[in-house]
Amino acid sequence: MTQYIYLVDDDEAIRLSLSALLATMGWETKAYDSVQSFQQGEGDLPSLSGCLLLDIRMPGKSGLALLESGLPEGFSLPVIMMTGHGNIDLCRRAFKNGAFEFLTKPVDADLLIETVSAALEQQRQQEQEREKFADLQAKLATLSAREQEVMALIMQGKSNKEMAKDLNLSPRTVEAHRASLFARLEINSLAKLINIYGGLQGPDGTT
């Protein structure tokens, strides 16, 4: 997925200068003159990848208002706030509502590049984690109901004999289910099962 830098600022000169600066790093910038044009232009905000450079005060809906109440559930872009009128209260409110960083104008070029680089890397790592989680969930979904039961009992620390008794099966059948679920989950040891999939289960072993 392509990462973009979404720049929202009502000052055209700032949009042009920052876009030109960011382009020197090979980054693609999408610039908007208001919060409303950003929201209308992008539509499905939770699907965006990259980071958001957001002016804190603009005509109409302010950047701070967007950060405090206007971002939809699932929105994951790191938000870098910018302002030419910074104060402690604005800074506090921005960080309280999840801002990645708070920069004052005129923005130092090196600091901006450093901050955007860190924000893009954070978002990249978050996307990788989401993809990994989705992949693990997809593998878990391939297990049969019996394999899920065996897995839950394995997570509880039960032996094959104990599982056989609980499930009213022969130890050999339990071992077959165990081998099958290991193959479906693409693991080869109990340690990997617990380490990789243990966190995806509830206290009772359900996924």
Would you give per-residue pLDDT tens digits along the chain (207 residues)? 789 999 999 999 999 999 999 999 999 999 999 999 999 999 899 899 999 999 998 888 899 999 988 788 889 899 999 998 777 888 888 999 999 999 999 999 999 999 999 999 999 999 899 889 989 999 999 999 999 999 999 999 999 999 999 999 999 999 999 999 999 999 999 899 988 888 775 444 444
Cis peptide before 203 (omega within 30 of 0): no
CA-angle at 51, arms to 50 and 54, nearest 5°: 150
Q: Which two tokens stand for residue 55?
A: 């002016």
Question: Which among 96, 89, 88, 17 is positioned nearest to 53, based on CA atoms?
Answer: 17
How is residue 105 annotated by DSSP?
S
Whether the pTM exceeds 0.85: the reply is no
DSSP string, 127-183: HHHHHHHHHHHHHHTTS-HHHHHHHHHHHTT--HHHHHHHHT--HHHHHHHHHHHHH
Alpha-carbon torsion 168, 170, 173, 179, what sign? positive
